[in-house]
């Protein structure tokens, strides 16, 4: 039996998480950590296993999930494909991922994108980017409730993007990071849901909109300046903007003592910018640093993280690698 195999990059938000949910822009990059979905045709009920986790179970022909509730997003993808007129077939799927879960690095959007590509290929269909984005984002709605779409855009299209909810990609930045500067991810290892901080921020912004609208505007302005800084190769300004963005995220209640410790340690060790990335209150910190400071920074944060490592931008989004 032939297997369809697809991979999808994870993502890191450089600017604009949370603010993007209420209409400000976000600047996001796909990263070189990947989720993989291997799918082959089989009978119903279909079987899904997520390697290295406890997540496993079956999906019946009428798209009910038996087993881990984390499989619901995959059932949603099947139901959307069905609503588009596809005749569904039973299958066996194995999902594996280098992207840690609940760490703000896009693991759910990436798994959904890789699954969608492999499953559609098994049915003999090649999804276009718009269809792939829609399927990944529909799965995200099951996982998080109220996604802006920024994660699904990053994993679908790859590269560095400026994204706006309900508009899509505003621009694609073709610049690569120079060898002199690097991005480091430091994962606090503190797992958290995306939906709770997103909900809390929406409630806060509703309550105090006359003040909060100014913070949202500032976050939006930071994207324009960040875009300019990346295009000009002005990393010092880029780092300063990351630090300011962190201040805004702190002000809306999504930082934490553990994240601040990682952020301050990395700044003291030579980072020019450090901020939480993703929903916050746990998850990861993104650090911009001169490349000759990487080892020093990783050494200074190792007390307080599950892992920390240099990452690179993935210029490509999700793709089929074998069929
Ligand atoms: O799921 P996370 O932690 O990568 O967060 C996604 C980014 C948010 O802005 C917090 C939510 C969203 O859908 O844009």
Q: Which pLDDT does position 97 carry in this prediction?
A: 97
Nearest ligand 1 atom to the CA of 108 is 1
Q: Which pLDDT does position 182 carry in this prediction?
A: 95
Q: Tell me how far apart the alpha carbons of residues 262 and 247 are, in angstroms, rounded to a whole number.
A: 14
Please give the helix or strand (H or E) that residue 77 lies within, else none: helix 72-83
Q: Which pLDDT does position 174 carry in this prediction?
A: 80
Q: What is the mean pLDDT of each run of 10 residues along the chain (323 residues)?
A: 93 98 96 98 97 94 96 98 97 97 95 98 97 98 93 98 96 82 97 92 98 97 96 94 98 98 98 98 97 97 97 96 87
Contact by Cβ (8 Å): 299, 269: yes
Q: Which pLDDT does position 146 carry in this prediction?
A: 86
Secondary structure (3-state) at 306 = coil
Q: Tell me how far apart the alpha carbons of residues 309 and 314 are, in angstroms, rounded to a whole number.
A: 15
For ligand 1, say whether the CB of 277 is within 6 Å of any of its atoms.
no
For residue 266, report the distance from its CA to the centre of ligand 1, in Å.
23
Contact by Cβ (8 Å): 20, 36: no
| β partners of residue 162 | 27, 171
Q: Which pLDDT does position 176 carry in this prediction?
A: 64
For residue 19, report the distance from its CA to the centre of ligand 1, in Å.
10
For ligand 1, say whether the CB of 283 is within 6 Å of any of its atoms.
yes
Task: Kindly compute the dihedral angle of the four CA atoms of residues 82, 85, 86, 90, in this order, to the nearest 10 degrees.
Answer: 40
For residue 111, report the distance from its CA to the centre of ligand 1, in Å.
15
Contact by Cβ (8 Å): 21, 146: yes
Nearest ligand 1 atom to the CA of 165 is 14
């Amino acid at each position: 039996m032939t297997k369809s195999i697809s991979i999808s990059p994870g993502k890191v938000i450089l600017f604009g998480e949370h603010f993007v949910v209420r209409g400000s822009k976000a600047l996001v990059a796909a990263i070189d950590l990947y989720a993989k979905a291997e799918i082959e045709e089989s009978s119903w009920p279909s079987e899904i296993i997520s390697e290295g986790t406890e997540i496993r179970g079956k999906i019946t022909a009428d798209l009910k999930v038996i087993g881990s509730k984390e499989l619901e997003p995959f059932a949603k993808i099947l139901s959307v494909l069905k609503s588009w007129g596809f005749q569904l077939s039973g299958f066996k799927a194995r999902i594996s991922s280098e992207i840690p879960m609940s760490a703000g690095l896009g693991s759910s959007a990436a798994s959904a994108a890789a699954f969608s590509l492999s499953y559609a290929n098994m049915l003999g269909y090649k999804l276009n980017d718009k269809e792939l984005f829609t399927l990944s984002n529909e799965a995200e709605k099951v996982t998080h409730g109220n996604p802006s779409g920024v994660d699904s855009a990053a994993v679908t299209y790859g590269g560095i993007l400026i994204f706006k909810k309900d508009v899509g990609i505003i621009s694609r930045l073709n610049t690569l990071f120079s060898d002199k500067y690097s991005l480091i991810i430091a994962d606090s290892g503190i797992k958290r849901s995306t939906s709770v901080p997103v909900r809390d921020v929406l409630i806060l912004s509703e309550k105090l909109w006359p003040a909060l609208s100014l913070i949202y505007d500032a976050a939006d302005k930071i994207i324009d300046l960040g875009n300019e800084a990346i295009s000009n190769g002005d990393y010092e300004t880029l780092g300063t903007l990351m630090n300011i963005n962190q201040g805004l995220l702190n002000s809306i209640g999504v930082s934490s003592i553990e994240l601040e410790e990682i952020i301050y340690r990395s700044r003291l060790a030579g980072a020019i910018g450090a901020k939480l990335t993703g929903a916050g209150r746990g998850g990861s910190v993104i650090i911009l640093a001169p490349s000759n400071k990487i080892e020093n920074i990783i050494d200074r944060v190792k007390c307080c993280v599950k892992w920390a490592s240099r990452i690179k931008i993935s210029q490509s989004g999700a793709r089929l690698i074998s069929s």
